[in-house]
Chain A
Amino acid sequence: DSICQAYEDEIQSLKEEIQLLTEKYEDSQQESTFFSEEAILKSIESFEREFQGESKGHEPPPDLKAELESLETDLSFLMKFVGIQFTSHSKKIIEKTKNRTVQKHRISGTCHSMSFQLEFQLLEMQNKENVCSAVTDLSIVMDSGEDSNVGKFLSSIEERGDILTFFKSLSSYAEWYEHRRCAFQHFK
């Protein structure tokens, strides 16, 4: 009977390992793939054609086109509302266990006319009540032009891993910078 228990324990642990490996594999596949907008449009057409004649007795196909459009609308809304456009994002799983995931992220984007690039590691931990994420090894690159205060600001942000404050400050700074630039243009 204890042998039974040992087998059952192993089955449980194997199932968990398989799930983690599958996630890791699929995430990696996702990252190393790329399809152009053209390929996406072609696929939408082809997907709709595939299912047009086929609904006899089969369950309706998942409305991928609608889901895609809904996500694009949400993304476009947020970029406009928050004022930050993310232009690229790549991530890599460094470590993944049941309660702990470490991912390395590289993000680039713009805010008004300022562009930025962030690289950091994000540690996600599942503890008894909730999930919390901690940022480490943050590095930010920004073309700030002549302003040396920006450099100091970025260093302190990097030290604390304070991405939230970075984004909050970025939108007000970028807006101010844009107004200033327009004002100077006006006076030329």
Chain B
Amino acid sequence: GMFAHLEMLEKQAHEAAMKEEAAEQQEKKLSRLKSRVQELRLQRDQLREKVEQQEQPGKEGAASGPAHPSARAVLEWKIKSLKSMLQLFYLTGISGKLTKQGVCFCISTAYEGTYLDFYYLDLLTKPAVRIHRHSIPTFIPLEQISKRFLQTDIRRFLAVLSDHLNAYVGRRHQAEQLQEHFSDQIVGTMQRNSLCNLLLFNYKVLIDKQPFQLSARLLYGDLCSSLPTQVTISSTQDSPTSLAETAAAHSDLLRRVALHKAFPSLLSTQ
């Protein structure tokens, strides 16, 4: 009995000590965190003030940095300025940098006002121009295009490749926009291939207030275009003749207007 009792007392004392230590650690941690928060708050407030001062037009002279900048600061300014100008080339569709063995081009793509994907093309220039590495998707006919233009006219090569990439990205963007904004009117899932030049989907329409389901098949025969060359609209059910007219009208519209922009008009036929 006595040993057991002693053991128990020892154990209790040990546990109490552990508890006290844990509480102490916790307190230290809290106070450390608290002072860190205050430090960061101060830093943040000072920065806010500095930024606010910059935004006041009257004080521009005072806020534009030290009166005698170091040589290093001047060079760093120029480097930043050059980098910024180099970035502008992304807006033109072709940017890049020279490498030891050639050039690494970056093709930027956009659909109307939205810039989307970038693709890289690392070219070697000696002894002849050839592609070293690239990030062009496999369904883009890169080999075909390079066979035709790479050796004779690099600019043309890049222009044609850029047209293919932009059209692909444009088609993909239209399909994605359709799925995002009109998922309620689309029945089932939209099917498309990786090149996004074949789209299949079913959609609901109201004709003379009657609901119908139509089936659309869009084929983009021109790989450099983001409008389809062939549109087939059909009905899965027994349909009145007015449906045939509607289908023809839809088919016509979809060949002229981008899919996601044409869609609202498709739904609101009388």
Contact = CB atoms under 8 A, between A and B. Distances in A.
Interface string A156-184: 00001111100110000000000000000
Contacts of A47: 71-72, 75
A73 B98 CA distance: 8
Contacts of B113: 134-136, 138, 160-163
Contacts of B74: 35, 39-40, 43
Given A17-B44, A67-B79, A134-B114, A29 B89 contact: no
A71 B76 CA distance: 12
A82 B94 contact: yes
B43 A18 contact: yes
- Interface range for A: 35 or more
A168 B110 CA distance: 12
Interface of A: 1, 3-4, 7-8, 10-11, 14-15, 17-18, 21-22, 24-25, 28-30, 32-33, 35, 39-40, 42-44, 46-47, 50, 64-65, 67-68, 70-75, 77-78, 81-82, 84, 86, 89, 91, 107, 130, 132-136, 138, 160-164, 167-168
Nearest to A74: B97
Contacts of A134: 113-115
What is the interface of chain B mostly: helix, strand, loop, or mixed? helix
Interface string B41-81: 10110011011001100001001110000011011111111
What is the interface of chain A mostly: helix, strand, loop, or mixed? helix
Contacts of B64: 29, 32-33
A25 B54 contact: yes
B85 A89 contact: yes
